[in-house]
């Protein structure tokens, strides 16, 4: 019978329910990186272990803007015994790289788990492991070169009797072969001149490119040969390492969030248990120091984990990441989006989307939802400056796509001022430059007046994830203004699964979840269920099947992509929440 066994270390079972909780450079010393969607100078610098200033020095003007599809020069750090980066060139193969760098295909594949025969293409950057760390090229990877034989029993093109005045060159031209081919077929020619009356074996001509293609192992062959053996997990071992507050100092709100997240994980485990999945769950209080987390990592059972959830504190991520990478254990970072370990550790899962990747998804979805809109930014001089980067970048994005926008900036933005910016022939999308409730209190009444005075105007309000915590204050206005906001986390309290989960949570723990964004109990359930269910189904092949799971989360969307060929996964899922004028609440899921 399948079971869930839970081991509590450092915290008591009774405590939780009552807590409030490329080298082929085009210039000397650099290689080329092609910018992909969502990347920033910071993320690019992080993945290559260089500084932003070093990139700017090689690419003047990049500090102002970088664009998807353009290339950047990245300084190549060359030191003995260190890995280096290589930009794949046209016509290159995995085998040719093993010859060039004197490392095995298995070493390159291991260093680049995101690399495959299907994405091995010109412009891709891969990491080349240091030759001191990598296995030398395997004999079975080497091509089998066939040297032409002079055995007279072989069927040659012809036998040629040498005439007076003939040379190696003239005979080669006569039979449309190379001088080297003629000499290889007749090794005695290396010793002296041609002699009249002697016979030469004339080989068939073979195109050198055809030989190379025939002799070199293909990418498919080498990748298939170095494919990891699929391992199924009879019992999944998972560790939860979070600061529950039993050590060090932790605020009441932070403690509440950690405990709610943990409870959500337990509920996910219980759901999986009922489906026949066997799990061993180990729980640790990480405390708030490096010493406390290192004590946990020194425990013998930690090396046997299949997956670790945590830590929460940014300063504890580095030692956890190093441990996970060394022991090839998946590490789920559930809260922060500012971790840079994901750019160099293939075992990391970042749940919360980094800002540049999140915004790039939002901008693309914005254009899909609003066709050639008239955009009006509303700056009510609010103290909140958290969306400065979002506003700056969306303005640049709109300009790049030739979409008109304007801005109103005042302590008192009236409906008359708003009307002055309206285009009666277009869809008018109003975007506050602040996500605060104070800004909404100032702006929404004036927008409502505008739409009521001019019902023929097409008006939408567009904004931010934080707005879902203000729905009690502005629900009717959101509906009337045909409002949209973007988010990676959202659940409708009237959604059946949300109602069911909230009721179960209350029954399990005797209280409701805190009204936060996101709800941490649901976050714990969604993240744990998604990954533990994936491990139970796919085992070691989880990473190749991440987005194939037919799961509808309660709150958290999932769309995992590797950040590069040698790094981990970030969650790029973003959807729009739409308050329609007829009173419906719709979550728009973009593919």
Q: Could you tell me the residue ranges of all domains in the chain?
A: 1-21+229-352+515-555, 30-142+217-225, 158-212, 356-487+580-585
* Eight-state DSSP code of residue 456: T
Residue 422 has phi, psi (to 5 degrees) of -80, 140
Do residues 516 and 482 touch, judged by C-beta distance below 8 A? no
**Closest of 487, 569, 490, 556 to residue 523, by C-alpha:** 556
What is the domain class of 1-21+229-352+515-555 according to CATH? alpha beta
Q: How confident is the model at residue 15 (pLDDT cuts 50, 70, 90)?
A: very low
Q: What is the pLDDT of residues 469-522, one digit of tens each?
A: 888 889 999 999 999 999 998 887 778 889 999 999 999 999 999 988 889 999
Residue 484, pLDDT score: 97
Fold of the domain spanning 356-487+580-585: Rossmann fold (3.40.50)
SS3 61: coil
pLDDT at 146: 43
Distance of alpha carbon 168 from alpha carbon 184, whole angstroms: 12
Mean pLDDT throughout 1-19? 44
Q: What is the pLDDT of residue 11?
A: 41
pLDDT band per the 50, 70, 90 thresholds, residue 284: very high
408-443, pLDDT tens digit by residue?
Answer: 999 899 999 999 999 999 999 999 999 999 999 999
Residue range 121-131, pLDDT digits in tens: 999 999 999 86
Bridging pattern class, strands 307-309 and 483-487 = unpaired
Please give the class, per CATH, of domain 30-142+217-225: alpha beta
| DSSP β-ladder status, 307-309 and 330-333 | parallel
Interaxial angle between packed helices 252-274 and 520-538, expressed in degrees from 0 to 180 and rounded to the nearest 10: 40
Q: How confident is the model at residue 449, as a pLDDT?
A: 97
Task: Please provide the average confidence, as pLDDT, over all residues in the chain.
Answer: 87
Q: Is the pTM of this model over 0.85?
A: no
Residue 2, pLDDT above cutoff 70: no
Which long-range contacts does 95-98 make (Cβ < 8 Å, 24+ apart)?
95/141, 95/143, 95/216, 95/217, 95/218, 95/219, 95/222, 96/216, 97/126, 97/128, 98/137, 98/141
Q: Which CATH superfamily is domain 158-212 in?
A: LysM domain (3.10.350.10)
Strand-pair partners of 459 = 428
Distance from C-alpha of 267 to C-alpha of 283, rounded to nearest angstrom? 14
pLDDT at 151: 47
284 phi/psi in degrees, rounded to 5? -130, 145
At 304, list the tokens.
């046997």
The rounded distance, in Å, linking the Cα atoms of 154 and 175 is 18
pLDDT given at position 471:
85
Tell me if residue 577 falls in helix, strand or coil. strand
Task: Tell me the two tokens of residue 311.
Answer: 């830590």
CB-CB contact of 568 with 350 (8 Å): yes
For 204-263, the pLDDT digits (tens) are 887 666 555 557 888 999 999 888 888 999 999 999 999 987 655 778 888 899 999 999
Residue 139 pLDDT > 80, yes or no? Answer: no
d(CA 174, CA 225): 44
Range ranked top by mean pLDDT from 67-71, 325-329, 469-473, 516-520: 325-329
Fold: same for 1-21+229-352+515-555 and 30-142+217-225: no
d(CA 468, CA 475): 9
Average pLDDT value for residue range 166-194: 84
Rounded CA separation 490/468 (Å): 8
pLDDT at 28: 59
Residue 201 has pLDDT above 80, yes or no: yes
Q: What is the pLDDT of residue 539?
A: 94
Tokens of 442: 């100032």
CA proximity to 75, closest of 98, 49, 93: 49
Quote the radius of gyration of the chain (alpha carbons, Å).
32
pLDDT at 42 over 70: yes
CA distance readout (Å), 549 to 69, 80, 314, 357, 385: 30, 44, 30, 23, 38
pLDDT at residue 48 greater than cutoff 70:
yes
pLDDT of residue 246: 64
């Amino acid at each position: 019978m399948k079971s869930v066994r839970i081991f509590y270390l450092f915290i008591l079972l009774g405590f939780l329910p009552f807590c409030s909780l490329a080298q082929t450079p085009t210039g000397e010393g650099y290689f080329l990186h092609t910018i992909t969607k969502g990347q920033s100078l910071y993320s690019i610098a992080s993945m290559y272990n260089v500084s932003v200033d070093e990139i700017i020095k090689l690419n003047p003007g990049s500090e102002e803007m970088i664009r998807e599809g353009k290339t950047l020069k990245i300084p190549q750090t060359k030191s003995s015994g260190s890995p280096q980066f290589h930009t794949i060139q046209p016509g290159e193969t995995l085998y040719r790289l093993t010859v060039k760098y004197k490392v095995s295909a298995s070493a390159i594949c291991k260093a680049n788990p995101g690399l495959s025969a299907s994405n091995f293409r010109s412009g891709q950057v891969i990491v080349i492991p240091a030759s001191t760390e990598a296995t030398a090229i395997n004999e079975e990877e080497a091509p089998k070169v066939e040297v032409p034989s002079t055995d007279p029993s072989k069927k040659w093109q012809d036998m040629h009797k040498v005439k007076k005045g003939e040379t190696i060159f003239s005979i080669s031209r006569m039979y449309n072969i190379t001088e080297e081919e003629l000499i290889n077929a007749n090794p005695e020619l290396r010793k002296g001149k041609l002699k009249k009356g002697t016979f030469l074996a004339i080989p068939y001509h073979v195109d050198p490119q055809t030989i190379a293609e025939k002799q070199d192992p293909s990418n498919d062959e080498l990748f298939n040969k170095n494919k990891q053996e699929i391992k199924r997990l009879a019992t999944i071992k998972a560790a939860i390492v979070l600061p529950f507050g039993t050590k060090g100092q932790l605020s009441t709100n932070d403690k509440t969030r950690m405990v709610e997240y943990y409870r959500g994980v337990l509920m996910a485990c219980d759901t999986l248990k009922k489906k026949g999945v066997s799990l061993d769950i180990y729980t640790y209080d990480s405390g708030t120091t490096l010493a406390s987390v290192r004590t946990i990592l020194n425990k013998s059972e930690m090396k046997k984990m299949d997956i670790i959830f945590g830590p929460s504190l940014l300063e504890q991520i580095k030692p956890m990441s190093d441990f996970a990478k060394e022991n090839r254990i998946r590490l789920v970072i559930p809260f922060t989006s500012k971790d840079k370990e994901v750019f160099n550790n293939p075992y990391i899962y970042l749940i919360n989307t980094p800002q540049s990747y999140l915004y790039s998804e939002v901008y693309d979805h914005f254009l899909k939802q609003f066709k050639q809109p008239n955009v009006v930014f509303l700056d009510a001089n609010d103290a909140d400056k958290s969306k400065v980067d979002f506003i700056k970048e969306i303005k640049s994005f709109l300009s790049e796509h030739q979409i008109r926008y304007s801005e109103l900036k005042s302590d008192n933005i009236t409906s008359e001022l708003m009307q002055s910016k309206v285009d009666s022939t277009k869809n008018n999308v109003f975007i506050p430059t602040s996500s605060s409730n104070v800004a909404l209190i100032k702006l929404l009444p004036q927008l409502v007046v505008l739409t009521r005075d001019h019902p023929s105007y097409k008006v939408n309000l567009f904004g931010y994830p934080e707005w879902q915590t203000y729905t009690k204050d502005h629900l009717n206005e959101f509906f009337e203004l045909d409002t949209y906001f973007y988010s990676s986390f959202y659940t409708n309290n009237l959604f059946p699964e949300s109602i069911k989960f909230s009721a179960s949570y209350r029954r399990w723990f005797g209280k409701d979840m805190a009204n936060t964004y996101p709800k941490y109990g649901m976050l714990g359930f969604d993240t744990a269920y998604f990954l533990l269910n994936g491990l139970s189904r796919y085992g070691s092949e989880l990473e190749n099947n991440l987005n194939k799971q037919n799961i509808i989360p309660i709150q958290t969307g999932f769309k995992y992509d590797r950040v590069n060929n040698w790094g981990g996964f970030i969650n790029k899922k973003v959807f729009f929440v739409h308050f329609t004028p007829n009173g419906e609440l719709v979550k728009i899921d973009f593919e």
